[in-house]
Amino acid sequence: MGEELKVRTMAEFMAEGKQPEILFWVGSAGSYDDRAKKITKAFVKILNKANVDFAVLGTEESNTGDVAKRAGNEFLFQMQAMMNIEVLNAYEVKRIVTCDPHSFNCLKNEYPSLGGNYEVIHHTQYIKSLIDDGRLSLEGNTYKGKRITFHDPCYLGRANSEYNAPRDVLSKTNATIVEMKRNKSTALCCGAGGAQMFKEPEKGDMDINILRTEDALETKPEIIATGCPYCKTMMTDGIKFKEKESEISVMDIAELIANT
Amino acid sequence: MEYIPNILFAIILVLGVGYFARNVKKLIRNIKLGREVDASDNKSQRWKNMARIALGQSKMVKRPIAGIMHVIVYIGFVIINIEVLEIIIDGLLGTHRIGLKVLPESIYGFLIGAFEVLAVLVLLAVVVFWLRRNVVKLKRFLSSEMKGWPKNDGNIILYFEVVLMCLFLVMNATDTSFQELGSGNIISQFIAPWFQGMSESSLHLIERSAWWLHIVGILVFLNYLYFSKHLHILLAFPNTYFGSVEVKGKFNNLEAVTNEVKLMMDPNADPFAAPVEGEGDEMPAKFGASDVMDLNQIQLLNAYTCTECGRCTSACPANLTGKKLSPRKIMMDTRDRLEEVGKNIDANNGEFKDDGKQLLGDYISNEELWACTTCNACVEECPVSINPLSIILEMRRYLVMEQSAAPMELNNMMTNIENNGAPWPYNQMDRLNWAKEE
């Protein structure tokens, strides 16, 4: 990525008595996981390029509790939620953007009844609005004519009915978008949701990410685009399993756009 | 003596409807064993959902072949049942085709003609359904939970429909005065020749038999519903009304937990304070669900509504990759256990006697519950707004919060979140390190 990333924290904004345009919720995967960190950095590069005045919570951010909730640990979820809400409300946060559909869903739908009311936006929606508002222009023809298939993350698609924003962004790259047979509301899960990311799968005939990778391979793509750090990991592993990593790359939409 | 048929008809009608009403009462009692749930919000949206999904069959047609066949049977069923109205009036008053006396001949002929055409379409659709289940052997009808009674149940319903439709057509074909009328016998005029050469009295006997068997058949079918997956023809309506009006990703926050967490986090809270009268005593006896009484009433209504079509299971990523989990089985198990509890209550003078069994373990295994990715594919697929995922989550909650019985890796993950605010063992102070890395 070369150029240095400009990242400021809410605490720094507060010290200057300023409010950022938007808070970037990095999430646990985006903060610590090597593959997800690439998405985080790519998204920051986009925010810098579009001159977005954004902040992160940095060390004051904690896990949303989403994965604990899906695993059945409502106590841990609500403890995490209330701690985060305390921090967010103290900073008077109004708008949040995140690259993780699980954080997006949790912050948007499950925090309000616990006292956390924010406008929550997924990064594909935010990138789309930056392009639509003329703040971000896509130069170059990096992806012109390339075959890209988009894997819908369950927590962006089915869970929140957002199918268009990622596709709209992809269409701006002049790539050829090819749909898998299971797409949008009938898209197949990558296999990571519901806390599966953190455990071995139950006994079966195959792993879910392999089946989903097969769906993607049927479209003969050059790039598999995702909008979720967990989906990216699962699909990348699937492509490796199929020994196709030299021909097909798995990229988050933020990475795709940051490269144009 | 001449009133005997009328009296006999009235008795059969009262018995048929009465026994059904008794079972409906039982069904409502069983559903009320569940936790209460507030669904008084979004009334207009709920009516719209019912009109669109149940009445309008909007989700059925997502799979075109089964969808269109189903719409034919559904429309046929609803419209042909108008004929039952005439049968009931005729039966009670001892009249014959009262419709001809109150309606102009042309309109009556049009109605009966439409019923006859629909009856043939229903027969065709039912044959296709039977072939799909027994000859084509669609994968979703062959799952392990479909062995035995569920498979027979599916076929019995189809046989019922064939018999009822045939009786209706034969009844019209052997009604000489109706055939002479020449209006509305669009289909039956082609069946009438099969009975040519029979005497007037034998034709009358066949006509009367078909008429009686038709109405008795309908009453038997009505009473069969309670014991069958076919209850959906009635329950699809309340079920789509009570179905979720929220986005699918939103899982409910347990209020009892909120109260406890708030208490834990509030430095000023007095843990020994006496609870305010009428407040806070709604705390459930346990967190999550291990048996049907721990589920809410909508989830139990879901279980009775399920018609075991298996669209959920055919879209479930866990099931598609050979795991034990099948969302349809979750619903079937819930209903089976609820029925078992209901019978227990009947046998013990209205009181449930502990039978040493529960939904968790005796019906649904931990292995099934932990295979779920919470992807909502099953919820999306269901043509009548059933939510198997909510039951899976409720049972996971019981496993984790009451039994600490999560898989070890998940316990590690949760410990990490508690200690470091991340599912991995990284220091919270390193959370912004990515910004400085190359």
Rounded-to-integer distance, Cα B194 and Cα B198, Å: 10
How many whole angstroms from its chain centre is CA B8?
Answer: 33
**pLDDT number for residue B272:** 66
Burial B117-135 (b: 16+ CB within 10 A, else e): ebbebbbebbebbbebbee
Stretch 60-79 of chain A: residues touching chain B, C-beta under 8 Å? 61-63, 65, 67-76, 78-79
Residues B418 and B360 in one domain: yes
Domains annotated for chain A, with CATH where assigned, are: 10-129 (3.40.50), 138-258 (3.40.50)
Residues B79 and B9 in one domain: yes
B189 belongs to a structural domain: yes
Residues B297 and B227 in one domain: no
Residues B187 and B41 in one domain: yes
Q: Which residues in chain B have Cβ-Cβ distances shorter than 8 Å to A61? A: 421, 431
Q: What is the CATH number of the domain that holds B148?
A: 1.20.950
B325 belongs to a structural domain: yes
Closest CA to B24 of B234, B267, B329, B288: B234
**pLDDT number for residue B3:** 85
Residue B262: phi, psi to the nearest 5?
-60, -40
Instruction: Write out the two tokens for B74.
Output: 């559904």
Rounded-to-integer distance, Cα B397 and Cα B414, Å: 14
Q: Which residues in chain B have Cβ-Cβ distances shorter than 8 Å to A9? A: 432
Burial B197-212 (b: 16+ CB within 10 A, else e): eeeeeebeebbeebbb
Q: Which of B242, B257, B274 is the last residue of a domain?
A: B242
How many whole angstroms from its chain centre is CA A224?
Answer: 14
Q: Which residues in chain B have Cβ-Cβ distances shorter than 8 Å to A63? A: 417, 421-423
Closest CA to B77 of B122, B33, B34: B122
Closest CA to A251 of A158, A157, A142: A142
B268 belongs to a structural domain: no
CB contact under 8 A, A67 and B375: no
Return the residue matching tokens 């006994």: A203
Lowest mean pLDDT among B155-159, B267-271, B346-350, B379-383: B267-271
**Domain count of the fold of chain B:** 2
The mean pLDDT value for B395-416 works out to: 97
- Cα of A10 to nearest chain B Cα, Å: 12
pLDDT at B375 over 50: yes
Q: Which of B242, B266, B281 is the last residue of a domain?
A: B242
**Nearest-by-Cβ selection for A193 from B323, B374, B409:** B374
Residue B349, Cβ neighbours under 10 Å: how many? 7
**pLDDT number for residue B274:** 59
B316, B281 Cβ separation under 8 angstroms: no
B300, B30 Cβ separation under 8 angstroms: yes
**pLDDT number for residue A248:** 97
Residue A225: phi, psi to the nearest 5?
-95, 140
Instruction: Write out the two tokens for A250.
Output: 């798995």
**Strand-by-strand arrangement of the A22-25 sheet:** A54-55, A22-25, A95-98, A119-122
Q: What is the CATH number of the domain that holds B375?
A: 1.10.1060
**pLDDT number for residue B81:** 83
The mean pLDDT value for B20-30 works out to: 97
What ipTM was reported for this prediction?
0.96
Supply the range of the domain harboring residue B132: 4-242
Q: Which of B210, B242, B274 is the last residue of a domain?
A: B242
B435 belongs to a structural domain: no
A12, A3 Cβ separation under 8 angstroms: no
**pLDDT number for residue B283:** 57
Residues B131 and B32 in one domain: yes
**pLDDT number for residue A1:** 45
Lowest mean pLDDT among A13-22, A147-156, B79-88, B405-414: B79-88
**pLDDT number for residue A13:** 97
pLDDT tens sequence across A16-34: 999 999 999 999 999 999 9
Rounded-to-integer distance, Cα A189 and Cα A159, Å: 12
**pLDDT number for residue B67:** 95
Residues B200 and B346 in one domain: no
B119 belongs to a structural domain: yes
Residues B378 and B313 in one domain: yes
Residues B8 and B146 in one domain: yes
Residues B294 and B232 in one domain: no
Residues B146 and B202 in one domain: yes
* Sign of the torsion angle spanned by Cα atoms B149, B150, B152, B156: positive
In the three-class reduction of DSSP (H, G, I as helix; E, B as strand; rest coil), residue B35 is classed as strand
If pLDDT is split at 50, 70 and 90, which confidence band does B276 have? low
If pLDDT is split at 50, 70 and 90, which confidence band does B58 have? very high
pLDDT at B366 over 60: yes
**Nearest-by-Cβ selection for A208 from B321, B398, B421:** B321
Residues B154 and B18 in one domain: yes
Q: Which residues in chain A have Cβ-Cβ distances shorter than 8 Å to B324? A: 202-203
* Sign of the torsion angle spanned by Cα atoms B194, B199, B204, B209: negative
Substitution target in B246, B393, B415, B432 with the highest count of A β-carbons within 10 Å is: B432
B280 belongs to a structural domain: no
pLDDT at B232 over 50: yes
The mean pLDDT value for B85-95 works out to: 92
CB contact under 8 A, A195 and B410: yes
B262 belongs to a structural domain: no
pLDDT at B115 over 80: yes
Residue B48: phi, psi to the nearest 5?
-65, -45
What is the three-state SS of chain A? Answer: CCCCCCCCEHHHHHHCCCCCCEEEECHHHHHHCHHHHHHHHHHHHHHHHCCCCEEECHHHCCCCCHHHHHHCCHHHHHHHHHHHHHHHHHCCCCEEEECCHHHHHHHHHHCHHHCCCCEEEEHHHHHHHHHHCCCCCCCCCCCCCCEEEECCCCCCCCCCCCCHHHHHHHHCCCCEECCCCCCHHHCCCCCCCCCHHHCCCCCCCCCHHHHHHHHHHCCCCCEEEECCHHHHHHHHHHHHHCCCCCCCEEEEHHHHHHCC
Residues B169 and B230 in one domain: yes
> Who contacts A177 (Cβ-Cβ below 8 Å, separation ≥6)?
A148, A149, A150, A167, A170, A171
Q: pLDDT under 70 in chain A at which residues? A: 1-3
Closest CA to B335 of B232, B201, B212, B266: B232
pLDDT tens sequence across A30-63: 999 999 999 999 999 999 999 999 999 999 999 9
A10 inside 8 A of chain B by CB:
no
Q: Which residues in chain B have Cβ-Cβ distances shorter than 8 Å to A184? A: none
If pLDDT is split at 50, 70 and 90, which confidence band does B230 have? very high
Q: Which residues in chain A have Cβ-Cβ distances shorter than 8 Å to B374? A: 70, 154, 193-194
In the three-class reduction of DSSP (H, G, I as helix; E, B as strand; rest coil), residue B352 is classed as coil
B25 belongs to a structural domain: yes
